[in-house]
Each structure stands twice: as structure tokens, then as C-alpha cells.
């Protein structure tokens, strides 16, 4: 969480290889932000879905049993692979999977999309096995892909043994890792739609029977801003919840593990985040960060602009110290083309890296034209003699 400072210093320097700029960009509220809410849980975290910025962390890297929040990774892999209208025949192994169920039977036929509904709404352990077998041919092969993907996403405190979260030796994750996985999955429109749906119908295709499935996430109806994500409960893990909510274009992800009052705990985190934090733009796409000298150019300098906007959440209250450090060449030779990469801007907020953006030329600069060569003046004499 960001520290507050009483004042904002201004520093700027430009060298041959690097430049740094401290900017006076900060909230202006005179009263300090409210203290972080107390949450009774084994681990908890609040994260900005857009940037991955952590607003609150309590034992967030502790390895714990994730229970059915595991199914976020299962859904992520299946949705990313595509072909969701493909039909799947349910195996005996899937149909006999214990715990929370979609109520599959051997030889039932469902589309992958309906199995995803059974996975994410009623938290079907049987649906998880059916999806794993459909995607990778076997559960062990699918679990290997789960673990490879977890590492690729940066979820280094995670190791999966099964696709559904049933208690097993060596099956663990952390609040931070689950927030990272949720963030990646929420970027998929299909996943976002499914986890925000209170109830939906599925159809068994062999018999043509349709039935209604209800979402186990009670916050979808209790908290108007909530739009996901996944519940999890086992005797080993206790009550767990990954919850997301969106307000004013900002989506927050709250994770509570082994939380006796998970609904209240997650809602308290989300409410605190929306009430006491707001988004601030540090770098705006197309807006000059600095000017770079151009040697031999029709113009003396070229503006360097970020390709993409960089904004983070900042707490309401006293000013926040932010530094934009720019690195690159000290000058550039003409011609310069518009959009040419010429540097990089790194934003550090209260000593913590907030993000970085490539800096490009904001306009084209042609070579400076040389003046036309003048012929020497000769006094011409009548008759052609000099």
C-alpha cells in the first residue's frame, strides 16, 4: 500500500543516456484515507484487475488449500483453447467424481460451454474432470498444463494436483496467486460473463433435457457491484472466496482464504477499495513526457510520448510522491519517423514500481535542407571579356 508524504518534490534532469522527472500528480483530499479494514481470514488480498496493483495484503503469499477456486484455472485453459460448442461425452470417471457436482452421468453429452457453466456456477467437480479429459485427453496431462500456465502467469506459490480443488497432498496456492489467475481469466469475455451470471440453463444433448443451474456466489445478488468470481469450500481449506466488483470503470479483485465470514470479508474489502482509492493517470498516450534534441533536423527537437496510457489507483488523502524516470538516447539524428521508439518511461510511486511505457517520437522530423549553392559573382565585360 502506498505511503503518504506531506509534500511533493520536483526533480528533473536529462543526460546522454537517461533522464528522470518527479511529477506533482496526487490526490488533494485534506483528510487521511481510512485505515484498511480488518478481515478475519487465513489470507487476504485486494488487487486492481487492470494493473495487478495490490491495494491490501495480509499473508497473501502464504501457501494454502485453494479448494474450488482452483476451477478458475481450469476454466481459463478451456476458454483460451476455444471450440466451446464442441460436444463432449461424459466418462465414468467424471460422472463418479465426489463433492459438489453438476450431476453428470456416464455417456451424457454436453457442449464445452455448458460444462463450463456447470464448472463455474454450481462448482461441479464432475464438470472439471470432464473438461480436463476433453481438452488434454487425461486429467494428469491437463494438470501439467495448469501448472505450466500458473508459472507463466507469475503464480509461483501454486501447484495443482487436480482440476477441481478436491483436497490432495501437494495441491496449494496463495491469495496473491489466485488474484493473479482471476485477473488473467477475467480478461476473457466468456469467463467474465459466466462468473457474473446468477443462474443459467444447460442442456443434456443425448436426451435433450434442459435444467437450471444456480451460481454458488451469494455476493452476486447481495452486493450490486459484484461481477464474479468463484467460491471454494472444503474441510481442509475452510470457506474461500475470490470476488470481483466493478464501479466507475475500475474492477477490483478480493481474495479471502479460510474466512469464516467470507461474504462479509470480501464485501468489506471491495467497499473499502472503491471508497478510499481512485485512479490517477501518470502517463497519457500521446502526451509529451519530454523533448529530445534532433541533430540535423528541420526541427530542433521531437516530443517523446507514451504509446499507451499508464494509470494506477492512489489513496485519497495527502499527496503521493511519484517519479517518472525516462531512459534512452540523449539526442537523435534526423530523419525521425513518427512512432519511432526512442526511450522508456518508468513510473515509481512511493518507491514501488507502478509500470513502464515505451516512449516514441510524437511527430516526424525531416532532415534540414541545406541552402542552395551560390555561384561566384564575375563582372561581365562587353564583348565577353573579363
Backbone angles phi, psi at 370, to 5 degrees: -80, 145
Contacting residues for 384 by C-beta, under 8 A, at least 6 apart? none
Taking CB atoms within 8 Å and a gap of at least 24, the contacts of 103-108 are: 104/130, 107/206, 108/204, 108/206
Contact 17, 330 (CB under 8 A): yes
Choose the catalytic residue: 68, 91, 136, 174: 68
- Report the half-sphere exposure of 18 (CA within 13 A, side-chain side): 4
The phi-psi region of residue 150 (left if phi > 0; otherwise alpha if psi is between -120 and 50; otherwise beta) is: alpha
CA 128 centroid distance within chain: 24
Instruction: Examine the residue annotation and report whether 100 is marked as an active-site residue of this protein.
Output: no
Sign, Cα dihedral of 82, 66, 166, 246: negative
Instruction: Examine the residue annotation and report whether 244 is marked as an active-site residue of this protein.
Output: no
Q: How far is CA 238 from CA 69, 159, 218, 290, in A?
A: 12, 18, 17, 53
252 strand-pairing partners: 48, 245
Choose the catalytic residue: 29, 31, 57, 71: 71
Contacting residues for 119 by C-beta, under 8 A, at least 6 apart? 71, 74, 75, 102, 127, 128, 131
In the numeric block, the cell 488480498 is attached to 45
Choose the catalytic residue: 100, 123, 174, 244: 123
Q: How far is CA 87 from CA 200, 342, 382, in A?
A: 18, 51, 102
Instruction: Examine the residue annotation and report whether 230 is marked as an active-site residue of this protein.
Output: no
Cell reading at 92: 465414468
Q: Which residues are catalytic?
A: 68, 71, 123
Amino acid at each position: 500500500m502506498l505511503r503518504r508524504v506531506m509534500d511533493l518534490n520536483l526533480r528533473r534532469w536529462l543526460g546522454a543516456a537517461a533522464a528522470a522527472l518527479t511529477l506533482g500528480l496526487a490526490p488533494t483530499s485534506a483528510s487521511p484515507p481510512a485505515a484498511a479494514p480488518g478481515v478475519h481470514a487465513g489470507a487476504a488480498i485486494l488487487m486492481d484487475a487492470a494493473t495487478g496493483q495490490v491495494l491490501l495484503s495480509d499473508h497473501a503469499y502464504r501457501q494454502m488449500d485453494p479448494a474450488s477456486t482452483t476451477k478458475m484455472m481450469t476454466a481459463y485453459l478451456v476458454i483460451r483453447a476455444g471450440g466451446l460448442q464442441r460436444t463432449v461425452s461424459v466418462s465414468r470417471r467424471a460422472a463418479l467424481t465426489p463433492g459438489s457436482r453438476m450431476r453428470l452421468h456416464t455417456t451424457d453429452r454436453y457442449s464445452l460451454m455448458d460444462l463450463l457453466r456447470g464448472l463455474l456456477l454450481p462448482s461441479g467437480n464432475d464438470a472439471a474432470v470432464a473438461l480436463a479429459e476433453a481438452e488434454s485427453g487425461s486429467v494428469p496431462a491437463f494438470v501439467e498444463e495448469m501448472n505450466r500456465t500458473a508459472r507463466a502467469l507469475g503464480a509461483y506459490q501454486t501447484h495443482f494436483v487436480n482440476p477441481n480443488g478436491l483436497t490432495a497432498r501437494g495441491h496449494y496456492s496463495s491469495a496473491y496467486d489466485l488474484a493473479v489467475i482471476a485477473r488473467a481469466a477475467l480478461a476473457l469475455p466468456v469467463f467474465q460473463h459466466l462468473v457474473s451470471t446468477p443462474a443459467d440453463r444447460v442442456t443434456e444433448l443425448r436426451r435433450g433435457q434442459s435444467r437450471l443451474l444456480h451460481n454458488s456466489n451469494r455476493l452476486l445478488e447481495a452486493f450490486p457491484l459484484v461481477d464474479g468470481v468463484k467460491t471454494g469450500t472444503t474441510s481442509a481449506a475452510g470457506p474461500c472466496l475470490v470476488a470481483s466488483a466493478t464501479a466507475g470503470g475500475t474492477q477490483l479483485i478480493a481474495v479471502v482464504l479460510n474466512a469464516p465470514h467470507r461474504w462479509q470479508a470480501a464485501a468489506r474489502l471491495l467497499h473499502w477499495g472503491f471508497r478510499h482509492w481512485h485512479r490517477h493517470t501518470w502517463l497519457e498516450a500521446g502526451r509529451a513526457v519530454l523533448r529530445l534534441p534532433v541533430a540535423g533536423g528541420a526541427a530542433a527537437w521531437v516530443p517523446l510520448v507514451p504509446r499507451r496510457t499508464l494509470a494506477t489507483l492512489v489513496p485519497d488523502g495527502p499527496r503521493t510522491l511519484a517519479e517518472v524516470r525516462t531512459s534512452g538516447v540523449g539526442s537523435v539524428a534526423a530523419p525521425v519517423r513518427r512512432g519511432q521508439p526512442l526511450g522508456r518511461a518508468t513510473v515509481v510511486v512511493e518507491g514501488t514500481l507502478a509500470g513502464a511505457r515505451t516512449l516514441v517520437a510524437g511527430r516526424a522530423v525531416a532532415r534540414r535542407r541545406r541552402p542552395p549553392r551560390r555561384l561566384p559573382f564575375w563582372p561581365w565585360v562587353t564583348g565577353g571579356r573579363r
